[in-house]
Amino acid sequence: MGLISNGTTIFDAGAFAAGIGSSMTFIKKLTADGSGTNLTFVNGSSGVVIDSTYKEYIFIINNIHHEEADRNLSVNFRDGGSNYDAAKITTFYYARHGEDDGSAELVYRGGTDTVGTGAQQLMNGIGNSADDCGSGYLHLFDPASTSSVKHFIATTNIMQDNVQSVEHHIAGFCNVTAAIDAVQFSVNSGNIDSGTISLYGIA
Amino acid sequence: MGLISNGTTLLDAGSLDGGVATGDMILIKTLAASNSSALSFVHGTSSVVLDGTYKEYLFKYINIHPTEVAQLVINFRDGGSNFDATKTSTAYNPYHVEDDTAAGLIYREAWDLAQSTGDQIIAQELGAAADESGSGYLHLFNPADTTFVTHFMGHTAYYQQLGGGGPFGVIYAGYCNTTTAIDGVTFKMSAGNLSTGTIKLYGIK
């Protein structure tokens, strides 16, 4: 049975028509439990979709807390094969402000931008006191394209190990025309104790 | 009454079936200013949800127009009835005056907060002339959490009336340095009222 209102099909054949509902679709949530060094989204694995189904993907990073102090959260991309090593060119700047009202500044940080295949920092130096964590989001545009580079943009905020609020802005592109089919978030030492990363597709 | 199409239940007992795709960015509440002293979203009041239902909340403030030139500010409630959560934050400011004589990007120490319960500035000297307003968004992460600090980040584009006048921005971020749940967010002017404008609250599943 279908339902047609004023000439518009609302639902038919057991499903609502395209365009009914939101254009932001939840795909997958990964939760850190202290047992691993990374949270990894792979197209076709465990219900993850990172292909041409959507033109944009958003990862929402929530309350990442590391086992060790002064550790980073980084991201890397898979462009074929099994390694997370897509060539990248990125920018990285941050604003920071200490709880003691010191260190207020806006800085481009050449040491944490990337020209190469290494992981790109998204959060630099998160503390590991009981209430320390970092949150933010990462946009990945058109990862299935095989004709263009793949752009990404991220903004995060953390309580840094030296007790300050630090907002990071990262953007760049995977300088490849191979499709990006997986994204890995990792800590540089120790494990990710807790936190979630949720993946959404934008129609 | 239920509704079944082609053997698939679409709705029953007053709600859509869990398998029906409805989208994962949910409009929770829209508040409209009308010479208002503040627009406040308080969990459990007027259908506002601001708890563990969602891990992220998104506020969009659209064409906020004040009754007089002043700062547009926000604050957070962490228990009790006051909007006074302790915050440490950053704020910086891209600007370009209308006559093209000045443009730049500056860290604004006067607009950030260090362990302060005061309001966070999200637009400085927001213009009050007929066509002047400010718009932007605020992300609030996991406000119901009682283990970690609560992060927020936002970006406002607005017309600043003073300092040459023109398009200005505030890019701000920080954390409520409390492990008490955040259950309310308020938007107001540092002087005068919110004449017109809309603020929408969304939950991200």
Cβ distance A12 to B5 less than 8 Å, yes or no, reads: yes
Range ranked top by mean pLDDT from A21-35, B46-60, B161-175: B46-60
- Are the C-beta atoms of A174 and A149 separated by less than 8 Å? yes
Range ranked top by mean pLDDT from A22-26, B5-9, B21-25, B107-111: B107-111
Looking at residue A199, its pLDDT comes to: 98
A1 confidence band (pLDDT: 50, 70, 90): low
* pLDDT over 80 (residue B9): no
Cβ distance A63 to B142 less than 8 Å, yes or no, reads: yes
Model confidence, pTM:
0.90
Return the structure tokens found at B28: 């929770």
Q: Is some CB atom of chain A closer than 8 A to the CB atom of B1?
A: no
Cβ distance B89 to A165 less than 8 Å, yes or no, reads: yes
Q: Which of A50, A27, A24 is nearest to A203 (CA)?
A: A24
* Residues of chain B positioned with their CB less than 8 A from the CB of A164: 88
- Are the C-beta atoms of A125 and A70 separated by less than 8 Å? yes
Cβ distance B179 to A131 less than 8 Å, yes or no, reads: yes
| Nearest residue, CB atoms, B149 vs list A62, A131, A166 | A131
Return the structure tokens found at B113: 């907060």
- Are the C-beta atoms of B128 and B66 separated by less than 8 Å? yes
* pLDDT over 90 (residue A3): no
Helix and strand element counts for chain A (H, E): 0, 16
Q: Which helix (H) or strand (E) holds B96?
A: strand B87-96
Q: What is the DSSP letter of B83?
A: B
Cβ distance B24 to A26 less than 8 Å, yes or no, reads: yes
Q: Which helix (H) or strand (E) holds B72?
A: strand B70-77
* pLDDT over 60 (residue A18): no
* pLDDT over 70 (residue B21): no
| Beta-sheet pairing, B120-126 with B134-141 | unpaired
- C-alpha B93 chain-centroid distance: 18
Instruction: Give pLDDT tens digits for A129-173.
Output: 999 999 999 999 999 999 999 999 999 999 999 999 999 999 999
Looking at residue A16, its pLDDT comes to: 63
* pLDDT over 80 (residue B111): yes
Looking at residue A57, its pLDDT comes to: 97
Q: Is some CB atom of chain A closer than 8 A to the CB atom of B169?
A: no
Cβ distance B91 to A155 less than 8 Å, yes or no, reads: no
Three-class DSSP category at A112: helix
- Are the C-beta atoms of B198 and B137 separated by less than 8 Å? no
Q: Is some CB atom of chain A closer than 8 A to the CB atom of B200?
A: no
| Beta-sheet pairing, B8-12 with B3-5 | antiparallel
For testing contact with chain A, the best of B149, B155, B200 (most A CBs within 10 A): B149
Looking at residue B141, its pLDDT comes to: 98
